[in-house]
Structure 1
Amino acid sequence: MTTTTAVNALTTLERRALQSISTPDGNMLIVAADQRNGMKAAIKDAPNGSDAITRDELAAVKADLVRHLANHAPAILLDPEVALPAIVDDGVLARDTALVVGLDASGFETVDGLRYTRFVPGVTPRTVRELGGGVAKMLYYTRPDKQDETSRVFQEIRELVEACEAEGLLLIVELLTYQLEDESDEQYAAAFPELVADGAALAVAAGAKILKLQYPGSAEASAAVTAAAQGVPWAVLSAGVDHETFIGQVTTAVVNGAAGAMAGRSLWKDSLSFDAARREELLTTRALPRLHELAAAVDGRA
């Protein structure tokens, strides 16, 4: 992975942080486990349904996910509401697995038809340090056909990039594009690849140094995203697709300039159980081999 030619240069601290979330070959690989409601929904055998799962029960699931899966990866993305600080304080997180802390709260608000995420209440770049993290992640919804450098989302990205740099944190800027209410399925599908690329360009103009993006749909579209990112490394998010599909997406994206992957549900969505023993078995025999396959894909060995 090459970062020296990026339009938004990394500081020395940020460069070290990027190494910590990358494979020995230098490509980003992060297990995403910052989901709250989405992770509850994946626990199909919960008594009385997933809605009845308590915070402590979800925390135990997250701890096992780290213990049996993420500790075999360069890095884990966790939330500050359920998982942290216990996973660090209880010694669950391996010393060689970097901690990425998610700043975004669940859900979004809609203003004039556009979506906006919110910070977890009380969580700041300083909080990431206090929780033991060296990398922060923030999600932004983007519609670059409706937003430019005067937009709220542009200003929010720029302000957080500056705040994290002042704190000595690397910030991963995650972008999700979405369908507008008055937009047909066909219109959105046609616009989607360009929306991903233009969103990347908007975030880079706001100062983003690492991007987490949706797979734009093809080799050609992946190359367009790489061009739009202007040397800023970008990783593919799994967006809940099945593992085999995601491996194909990552393989194509990496060949066309992507610098890694950040995977959650594609790894573990069918490997969680309310029963701890069954959970360990599934994570070890089903999810962990997938992680190894994904590592090969991000390093171009799939």
Structure 2
Amino acid sequence: MAALSITRLYGLGLTPGKLRGLQRISNPNGTLTMVATDQNSSMIKMMKEALKREPTYDEIVDAKVMLSRALAPHCSGILVDAYYGYASTMAAFAIPPSTGILIRVEKSGAPKNAAGAPCGEIEPGWSAAKIKRCGADAVKLLAQFEPGEFDSAEKNFALVRHIHDQCQELDILFLLEPIHFPYKVAGQEESKEAVLARKARTVIDTARYLSRYCDIYKAEFPGTLGYESDAQLRDNLKRLNDACERPWVLLSAGVDYDQYKKQVEMAIAAGASGVLGGRAFWKEFFTFPTPAERQKFVETECVRRLREIHAIVQTGTPWFRRYGLTLEDLHSIRATEGWHARYADGLASPSRSATAPDPHAVY
């Protein structure tokens, strides 16, 4: 097969740093089996209920290290937070070299506007630049997004663009996670029925707004099992797949594992490239009273679930197919001499590029 120019990848936004990030967090066939352990607020709440007191910093860190050590060998990528997770988990060798690392950039919780809509913020003392500097493979941003709530939508859109532009400048992979939420309409709280009724539309419309501003799009399931028919859910997933301009993976949103498994099967059939699930894999972990019992649960039941989902994900759409590429295309990509001088800093100066190579230099 004839060689293809690396310019083809550049034209798709697949610069060297982003391409390497995709390679690191993917399975060999281009699908993605990823696990999230970055949920600080929900973890602390579950630990508080189990311990009957506030957990200490060290207890939270130990729980995250235990989860990572058990699950990371069985997934292509693991998502951690900065405050409790990354430094201790990485330094403790809880994540093997073969597993990619994503780090979230947003802080847990967000201030809300007059409509009760959250407006995201970056973790204090943290940044996309620090995520790049400490050796992670990707930046992850949670963006709570409702197209119909104009104030928060505009602010959260600006935050997404800001992190997107930073990741472009840093040449690091960017994974975006939008989620829907209830808010006040004309000063009145939305009913649960109203939120359920518009969830699919919100998820699909949000993909149209935001999926172009990332490299991997982490989507909610567009609807609710048992609320819409399976036929309607399959149609929703098709429309979500059509709306996404980037490879997309399915989040778990804390549903029970059996529900998540069915959602994954449907999403993969519709064109998803994989998963980035959290609590569906491990949420019962915190109901066990002793570290030994928690460790047994995560090493048996949680690993079983992850392996089961991984088998489904293996049949998904490889990320490169969303870019119109095949593995054969990628294997044939070549750069021209001097690419390193043009990379990131722009084109070489005319005087420099016109100079004949120094025969005594080592290139």
TM-score exceeds 0.5: yes
- Show the counterpart of 1:210: 216
Conservation of the 8 A alpha-carbon contact between 2:47 and 2:55: no
Cα distance per residue 1:157-201 (max 9 Å; x no partner): 112111012112111110011122232333222211110011111
**Which of the numbers 290, 314, 323 marks the counterpart of 1:299?**
314
- Show the counterpart of 2:99: 97
Residue 263 in 1 paired to residue 277 in 2? yes
When structure 1 is superposed on structure 2, of 175-184 and 272-281 the one drifting more is: 272-281
Q: Structure 1 counterpart of 2:313, which letter?
A: V
**Which of the numbers 243, 248, 255 marks the counterpart of 1:234?**
248
When structure 1 is superposed on structure 2, of 168-177 and 106-115 the one drifting more is: 106-115
Query: Residues 186, 279 of structure 1: CA spacing in aligned structure 2 closer, same or farther, 3 A cutoff?
Result: closer
**Which of the numbers 87, 90, 102 marks the counterpart of 1:88?**
90
Q: Structure 2 counterpart of 1:35, which letter?
A: Q
Cα distance per residue 1:226-254 (max 9 Å; x no partner): 11113x11111100001111011011011
Residue 141 in 1 paired to residue 111 in 2? no
Aligned CA RMSD, in angstroms, stands at 2.2
Conservation of the 8 A alpha-carbon contact between 1:45 and 1:274: no
Distance 2:216 2:121 in 1: 20
- Show the counterpart of 2:328: none
- Show the counterpart of 1:60: 62
Distance 1:116 1:52 in 2: 27
**Which of the numbers 27, 45, 56 marks the counterpart of 2:31?**
27
Conservation of the 8 A alpha-carbon contact between 2:72 and 2:94: no
- 1:1-302 equivalences under 5 Å are 9-43=13-47, 46-47=50-51, 49=52, 51-113=53-115, 114-147=117-150, 151-181=154-184, 182=188, 183-205=190-212, 207-217=213-223, 218-230=233-245, 232-272=246-286, 273=288, 275-300=290-315
Report the secondary structure of 2:285's partner residue.
coil
Q: Structure 2 counterpart of 1:212, which letter?
A: K
Q: Structure 2 counterpart of 1:285, which letter?
A: T
Q: Structure 2 counterpart of 1:21, which letter?
A: I
Query: Residues 290, 158 of structure 1: CA spacing in aligned structure 2 closer, same or farther, 3 A cutoff?
Result: same
Distance 2:177 2:17 in 1: 20
Report how far residue 16 of structure 1 moved: 2.1
Distance 2:129 2:289 in 1: 34
What is the count of residue pairs matched by the alignment? 292
Report the secondary structure of 1:30's partner residue.
strand
Consecutive unaligned residues of structure 2, counting only runs of 5 or more, are 1-7, 224-232, 317-363
Conservation of the 8 A alpha-carbon contact between 1:23 and 1:295: no
Q: Which has the higher helix share?
A: 2
Report how far residue 57 of structure 1 moved: 0.9
Consecutive unaligned residues of structure 1, counting only runs of 5 or more, are none
Query: After the TM superposition, which segments of 4 or more aligned residues of structure 1 sit over 6 Å from their partners?
Result: none
Conservation of the 8 A alpha-carbon contact between 1:17 and 1:135: yes
Distance 1:71 1:43 in 2: 24
Distance 1:215 1:61 in 2: 28
Conservation of the 8 A alpha-carbon contact between 1:99 and 1:134: yes
* Identity between Structure 1 and Structure 2 (%): 28
Report the secondary structure of 1:187's partner residue.
helix
Distance 1:220 1:110 in 2: 33
- Which structure has the greater CA radius of gyration? 2
Conservation of the 8 A alpha-carbon contact between 1:251 and 1:300: no
Report how far residue 8 of structure 1 moved: 6.1
- Show the counterpart of 2:319: none
Query: Residues 8, 204 of structure 1: CA spacing in aligned structure 2 closer, same or farther, 3 A cutoff?
Result: farther
Q: Structure 2 counterpart of 1:130, which letter?
A: R
Conservation of the 8 A alpha-carbon contact between 1:240 and 1:264: yes
When structure 1 is superposed on structure 2, of 53-62 and 65-74 the one drifting more is: 65-74
**TM-score, scaled relative to structure 2:** 0.75
Distance 1:45 1:191 in 2: 32
Conservation of the 8 A alpha-carbon contact between 2:48 and 2:55: no
